[in-house]
A and B are shown apart, each in its own frame.
Chain A
Amino acid sequence: RVGMAESAAAAAAAAGLLEPGAKEVAARSLGRTAHNMSSSSLRKKSDLALLRKVPCAPLRGLLDNLQQVLLATKLVLLFPAVFLALAARYFDFGQEWVFVLSLIGLVPLAERLSFLTEQVACYTGPTVGGLLNATFGNVTEVIIAIFALYEGKVVVVKCSLLGSILSNLLLVLGTSLFLGGLANLGKYQPYDRMQADVSTGLLILGALCHSLPLMLRYAVSSEEHTIVSWDAGLELSRACSVVMLLAYVAYLFFQLKTHCQLFEPQEVEDDGDDSVSQDEAVLGFSSAIIWLGVMTLMTAVLSEFVVSTIEAASKSWELSVSFISIILIPIVGNAAEHAGAVIFAFKNKLDITLGVSLGSATQISMFVVPLSVLVAWIMGVPMDLDFNLLETGCLFLAILVTTFTLQDGSSHYLKGLILLFCYIVIAICFFVLRRRGSGSNDGVGMGVASNTRRI
């Protein structure tokens, strides 16, 4: 049977090469980026047998819809945390319980958002779909960032976004390459370098944009340069953010229009029957839009809980706000992608793994970060791109070590282990920074310090 399948696949491939209609096939799969292929590995075929027994026909459709939306994921076990978080909030449990439950509840919501985006993309065609994916791919991070901005917690915004980049580059990629390397020991583990190079270039541009305001501040404070007004760093950050968004638009154009062949994931043949083919829409367009709205709303509610209870959690756990923002929140926010990336690394499909982790890091660095700066500008919050010395240094070295790791087109477990060790070292560094005495106004203290120095 396997032989037959193989020959059929070969015939199909040959036909695809010859057929003029192959273009349409390729075009249809355009909307499927590595990102949603990875998250699809967490999905399961929903069992319709139970549904068919329901007598009332309109009810059947509604139930089917509900089942597709709520139960068709392996992360469904974490859904109760959403309600528990709401309950904990309104029955005045401990703040840290609200924090923990909200974080856990965000995991399945993030996965479902990606699923719904993909469903909507099925109706809109590849380009709009690609744009939707690119925008909603990290919607959890965006929502958390906007809520934190709204509450004026600039440090939390900066730390959580930076932590998300670090976690994608080092933790997600490191675990995937390590486990993939161990599972495929002795096998050749290739990947396409071109895609990695594009992301790397953008990430280095991002690191430059983060470094300039930082270096400006240090240069001014050591009297190497003089600036006219104290918000020169802020203006520089806003200009850099505009440039970063332009670069991201160019990247989307490159990815979706002119060089889409670079970003096509490797063929996935032995996906197993537990994953759903994403080419067909299982939901209607309007129902998908409605659910997208509902899920976004729930994500927003939980994000608000997370942001407002972060200081209480920091105080009760004796961890600094920056440690929680840089290490804990991104681990949770990226959990679904993380699992997907590891699963594809196990299957030796490193292109998808790289697409997920590097794509996500690029998106946060070049889209979410400048967007936050611009939103803060509109809101009148003075958020700049100056992420302090230690954070920027870690980002820079993380990008460098990832770049050098991905230089030759194959992988082995030691590469993953090195990335993982880098992440551990960075985590230790932010862990030892905690202040035992006054954990609560850690963030405020940091914000004030940088403000006064700028003045």
Chain B
Amino acid sequence: MSTMESGLLRKHASDAGGLRAARTGPHGHSATARTAHSMSASALRKKSDASLVRKVPFAPLRPLLANLQEVFLGTKLAVLFPAVPLAIAARYAHFGQVWVFALSLLGLIPLAERVSFLTEQIAIYTGPTVGGLLNATCGNATELIIALFALMQGKIEVVKCSLLGSVLSNLLLVLGTSLFCGGIVNLGVDQPYDRKQADVNTGLLILGVLCQSLPLMLRYAVGAGEHSVAADTTGLVLSRACSIVMLLAYVAYLFFQLKTHTQLFEPQDIDEDGEDQEEAVIGFGSGLFWLAFKTVLIAILSEFVVGTIEPTSQSWGLSVSFISIILLPIVGNAAEHAGAIIFALKNKLDITLGVALGSATQISMFVVPLSVIVAWIAGIQMDLDFKLIETGSLFVSVIVTSFTLQDGTSHYLKGILLLLCYIVIGACFFVTRQPSSHANGNGAGLAVPTGTLNAQVA
């Protein structure tokens, strides 16, 4: 509500026409750097109140305080910031591991939002192309960092599950909730969106599904004796080659999005969106500094999350894969989720789709293959074989999302369908928990079928 009010107030200062003129006019360059993703994240921001800062008597201190205020308090999620020091305290005061896990997860939410804000601030200084690249790379920084930490600790299962869960959550949960809420609020109103953008993402997602299916089918085909492979690492070699192709496809997608077909990805005009993101509120140097600082904080919390996931799983009686597929991504995508819903409520479905599908595409075509390549460099045997239920869920999710977005309008039933798909998948992973041996049940469970495969090959 406050966004709407402040939007109405600010309408006097810079009306919609002015915004549009700024986009195509001399400042047009910064408009291209504003992807749907950053626009959605900005919905959570609030204008920081500078009146308090002005009362500080000491002049040099004043800009510093203003800077701090912009960085820490310029978001509605600031209430969750205390979780960050609490998580660190819990860790070093030896609270329960579960507390560390829960507090770290909570702390990651505002940090993820702030990283996106800082990326956007830096993008203002670097120009549209570099800015677009920055946004495309740091857009899912939290997922990437969690994946890298889990990889370094050898928890390949957590990496795979959290990335897969992130794609599922973006496609079904974020999109489903947004379309549902947007459909209910805009009942009777036409809810259009641009199909072309959705189609591009769909194509990439299906390519991603193909790349993940091939190692899985290879394993099954070899297991059934239909094919024989030269070495037991064939699946791994195939996964690495597929990852390179996926990264090439992602580069082509970025080129397409930022250079040749930018008009497809420009979000609808926002008339009453209040905040004006075109101006930088912090300096370049301070932006870089804070970005590094926040990234370090995210890294610390991610390490806590990854390190405490197994005790948590044990104490809550949930499997590691359920926590990784359902809980981690819900938290990791919370900020984008809120933004997507806010724009769906305003009937700006292009932005909602840009966030949800763009994020899913980015994880599927960039973070996943990057993890495989990083694992390769680090000498860890991570492949693209995400097991049958996971790959099947991903496949059906991509199909159901694609079919849902076939005609260029939306209604609440589409949202409900997506949401119910997510619930069904969540239920499936909930019942697959292993009550007897939670601790390392999943890692071992993954290793066993591969082991039998290797035995068959040999």
Q: Which residues of A contact B (CB under 8 A)?
A: 185, 218, 221, 322, 388-390, 393-394, 397, 400-401, 404-405, 407-408, 410, 412-415, 417-418, 421-422, 424-426, 428-429, 432-437, 445-446, 449-450, 453
Contact = CB atoms under 8 A, between A and B. Distances in A.
**Residue from A415, A417, A429, A436 whose CB has the most chain B CB atoms within 10 Å:** A429
B228 A445 contact: yes
B54 interface: no
Contact of A421 (B200, B230, B249): B249
Contact of A414 (B206, B214, B224, B256): B256
A415 B249 CA distance: 11
Interface in B132-176: none
Contacts of A446: 226-227
B229 A418 contact: no
Contacts, number: 116
A413 B242 CA distance: 21
B288 interface: no
Interface in B247-263: 248-249, 252-253, 256, 260-261
12 contacts: A388-B227, A390-B217, A394-B217, A397-B209, A408-B195, A414-B203, A415-B203, A418-B206, A418-B207, A421-B245, A433-B227, A433-B234
Contact of B224 (A397, A425, A453): A453
Interface in B289-339: none
A415 B204 CA distance: 9
B242 A425 contact: yes
A58 B419 CA distance: 79
A388 B221 contact: yes
Contacts of A412: 256, 261
A414 B261 contact: yes
B214 A429 contact: yes
A393 B241 contact: no
A434 B230 contact: yes
A401 B205 CA distance: 9
B238 A428 contact: yes
B241 A428 contact: yes
B76 interface: no
A139 to B, nearest CB: 30
A388 B213 CA distance: 15
**Residue from A221, A397, A436, A437 whose CB has the most chain B CB atoms within 10 Å:** A397
B75 interface: no
B230 A417 contact: no
Contacts of A436: 230
Given A388-B227, A397-B210, A432-B238, A424 B196 contact: no
B230 A397 contact: no
Contact of B218 (A390, A397, A422): A390
Interface of B: 195-196, 199-200, 202-204, 206-207, 209-211, 213-214, 217-218, 220-221, 224-230, 234, 237-238, 241-242, 245, 248-249, 252-253, 256, 260-261, 399, 402, 406
Given A397-B213, A425-B242, A428-B242, A408 B256 contact: no
B399 A400 contact: yes
Contact of B252 (A408, A417, A434, A437): A417
B210 A449 contact: no
A403 B227 CA distance: 29
A218 B245 contact: no
Nearest to B235: A432
A418 B234 contact: no
A435 B195 contact: no
**Residue from B210, B220, B248 whose CB has the most chain A CB atoms within 10 Å:** B210
A422 B245 CA distance: 9
A432 B229 contact: yes
A425 B199 CA distance: 21
A404 B143 CA distance: 28
Contacts of B249: 417-418, 421
B192 to A, nearest CB: 14
Contacts of B204: 418
B226 A404 contact: no
A451 to B, nearest CB: 11
Contacts of B195: 407-408
Given A185-B260, A449-B225, A401 B238 contact: no
Nearest to B403: A404
Given A404-B203, A407-B406, A446-B226, A425 B214 contact: yes
A436 B229 CA distance: 9
Contacts of B406: 407
Contacts of A453: 224-225
Nearest to A433: B227
- Sort A-B residue pairs by CB-CB distance and give the 9 closest, nearest first: A418-B203, A388-B226, A389-B221, A414-B256, A390-B221, A401-B206, A393-B217, A428-B241, A429-B214
